[in-house]
Amino acid sequence: MVFKNLPIKFDVYGRAHLRDEEASDPFDYTPDPRIQRALNRERTLEKLSSNPNVRPFEIGPVTRTGGRFALRTVIDFDQRRALDAHVECGQFAGQSGACEMTLNGHEPSDAIHISSRVCGSSSGAHAIASAMALEMAAGVTPPPLAVLARNLGSCGEVISECVNHLFLLAGPDYSEGAVSRTNLSFWGKAQKTPAAGVNAHGLETVADIMRGMNPISGHLYLEALQMARLGREMATLMFGKHPHPATIVPGGIGIEANREVFNQVLGRVNALLDYSKKLAVIWDDLVDFFYDAEPRYRRVGELPGNLISVGLWDDPEGYDASYANCNEWGMRRMSAPGVIINGEIRTDRLSDINIGIEEFVDHSYYGQWEGGQVPADPLSGPVSPWHPWNKETAPFPTPRDWKERYSWNTAPRWDREAMETGPLARLWINAAGGAQNCEFIKSSRRSSQRGLEIFLPKGQRPATTLQWSIPERPNALERNRARAYQVAYAVMVAYADLLKAFDCIRQGEVTMSVRFLHPDRKISVGFWESGRGMTTHHLAIKNRVIGNYQVITPSEWMGSPRDAIGLPGIYEAAMMNTPLLEECARAEDFIGVDLLRVARSFDP
């Protein structure tokens, strides 16, 4: 079964249809029993609020995040756990809604440069997703070398985002400064615990790792600044500048097919190759220490395993930009697409992922729209009235009310489930699906545990194979560990694509773009991913101009408010029932470090 909650079924040929073709309102969500369960939960929380040790706890704005986020939680200080959580995105300018309103009425080719402003660190991902939507609409396919150049720029951006996350954003929560203040007993254990990976990173104890992560002064922190810069330089060489690429165009990329440019990328890949060998081991040592010191850390930020990815890094021989063939070229990506619900694979087809998307605004600062002009996708698969092709962006600012509207983020859902996206989702989906589209990366199985093997060839350090295993369930520490392995994954994708790029140049296949003409009327979608996760750009062209443009970012997928059914967003759900392991004698001294570790584990 692909869809459990949406009224969509598939025939023997894999074509999507409505379950009841005669239903007057097939996508009506009001009969969903989860609505009543959400109401019952709210009533229970109201009763608990009379307990003097059940208190609200707010943090806002949350620092070391990409947006203006605020957290409101309800904490049971007797049981030391969070009972409820709400996450507000308090910024309209710079969010996808502002971009969507700006683009209406523009020429389609303007979309790339405007939409890349949605996010600076992920601007390359947005530019590529926008270009792909335009290519699908116009029916043009970029030349192979242009596809490889985009992949290389994207690899650099993903590496930069992940390294920044691990040491500049989330990392300080695990540094000496944070741990010695909020978990003093852990700091004592860390000083006595040998680091298992000392031969890979040279740090003798876990305390040495924590000292290295101290902001500004720690050597790992300072090294990360240089390594993240190498990733951004890779992106800049391909994209012209970063953030906000200047070279990405519909039908290709605006750089010369110059061997010297690709050699400069190779030099940076070689440096990152050696760095990635020790990076994964550092985070293995850190994560394993927290589990050994306090097993309940497996439950901090724990979720059931609803994961989604549209895949990343196209095969230059397979990508043809068409929706008709998107399932074929999607499966040839070096990071394959897929959806996992409660640990089980639902689909690996891009068309299924697309028609399963809905976007709700019941608790957002946007007005509801009526009906929908797009009943089906180009393959005749039915789409919901709440699908992005049918959405209308209408800001509706009101005073913040935690029970009503409280965020500028919308609530995207797939099959009416809140979904986690990002490095953990990508690694998990590729390991579970067995995709092997990069010669340096393959799925593996040791006893009953699935995972990935990433082969890193000899550089300044000896060749090695990193082993990543699917965890029992997603949690805050595993999200961070996955980002460390994602750096090695992206490095080897870049390495493989460089080999292909040099082959193209050697064979004289140096065309970097093809002609692009605006279509008169078309719907299309661009599927791509940033370091943070899944990014889609849905486009409707009418009379040769943009009639509707919708962007869904990773921060919306995971940092959403409640939806129409009452389900919390991923950030919110991850904080609810999280054990609070911070060491403090009084509630007044509580900092909320475990809540912050959960929130920052998603790289919001």
Q: Is residue 462 domain-resident?
A: yes
H/E element holding 446?
Answer: strand 441-446
At residue 5, what are phi and psi to the nearest 5 degrees? Answer: -100, -30
* CB neighbourhood size of 247 (10 A): 21
Q: Is residue 347 domain-resident?
A: yes
Q: What is the pLDDT of residue 94?
A: 60
Q: What is the pLDDT of residue 586?
A: 82
Q: Is residue 1 domain-resident?
A: no
Q: Which residues contact 210 (CB under 8 A, 6 or more apart)?
A: 174, 175, 176, 179, 187, 190, 286
Residue 314 domain boundaries: 8-600
Residue 222 CA, distance from chain mean position: 25
Q: Is residue 543 domain-resident?
A: yes
Mean pLDDT of 301-315: 97
Q: What is the pLDDT of residue 93?
A: 63
Tens-place pLDDT, residues 133-157? 999 999 999 999 999 999 999 999 9
Q: What is the pLDDT of residue 578?
A: 92
Find the CATH number of the domain harbouring 102.
1.10.645.10
* CB neighbourhood size of 127 (10 A): 34
Q: For the chain, what is the largest distance between any 2 Cα atoms, rounded to a whole number of angstroms?
A: 75
Q: What is the pLDDT of residue 516?
A: 92
Q: Is residue 3 domain-resident?
A: no
| Residue 156: strand pairing partners | none
Into how many domains does the chain fold? 1
**What pTM value is reported for the model?**
0.96
Q: Is residue 117 domain-resident?
A: yes
CA distance 546 to 180: 54
Nearest to 147 by CA among 512, 526, 494: 512
Q: Is residue 2 domain-resident?
A: no
Nearest to 565 by CA among 3, 33, 89: 33
Nearest to 355 by CA among 346, 368, 344: 346
CA distance 415 to 72: 27
Asked if the model's pLDDT at residue 435 lies above 80, the reply is no
Looking at 19-110, which runs of residues are DSSP E strands?
A: 54-59, 69-76, 81-89
Q: What is the pLDDT of residue 449?
A: 86
CA distance 167 to 478: 15
Q: What is the pLDDT of residue 486?
A: 98
Asked if the model's pLDDT at residue 425 lies above 80, the reply is yes
Q: Is residue 379 domain-resident?
A: yes
Tens-place pLDDT, residues 472-529? 999 999 999 999 999 999 999 999 999 999 999 999 999 999 999 999 999 999 999 9
